[in-house]
Amino acid sequence: MKNNIKIDVKVSFIEEQSSATINQHTFAYTITITNNGSIGAQLLTRRWLIQDETGRMEEVIGEGVVGQQPHIMPGESYQYSSGSVIKTATGTMKGTYGMINDEGERFEATIPEFVLSEPYTLH
């Protein structure tokens, strides 16, 4: 498959930047983007849907990731870390990366939904 981008996510809760009394729950996440396709591809844009446990949805759209628009060759990975602040102890994030392959074809890479959760809040 030409355009085959795999996305893995690891999440951690940042207790020292969080406060339940002011409804601020801070999470860091590290994303690894691996090109399992047969052609190089560049990440151009990102679109995130961030939802807290009340159902409140926030959409974040922008260029690249952490100020970069990485080009990823077949078999290579690109990793970056970022963060999110939500008003509840749990929530979810999902989205897409807008990509362009080395033949000039645009496509979207799906970021699978993942859970933001403080330790011991899920049963």
Q: What are the tens digits of pLDDT across the range 52-109?
A: 999 999 999 999 999 999 999 999 999 999 999 999 999 999 999 999 999 999 999 9
For residue 11, the surrounding DSSP H or E stretch is strand 5-13
Angstrom distance (rounded) from CA 95 to CA 61: 10
Q: In the beta sheet, which residues pair with residue 33? A: 7, 78
Instruction: Summarize pLDDT for 8-25 with one digit per residue, the tens.
Output: 999 999 999 999 899 999
Q: Does the domain formed by 5-117 have CATH 2.60.120.380?
A: no
Count of all residues that appear for the chain in the document = 123
- Judging by beta carbons within 10 Å of its beta carbon (0-12, 13-18, 19+), is residue 77 exposed, middle or buried? middle
- Identity at 118, one-letter amino acid code: E
Domain boundaries, the chain: 5-117
Residues whose CB falls within 8 Å of the CB of residue 100, separated by 6 or more in sequence, listed in order: 41, 42, 44, 106, 107
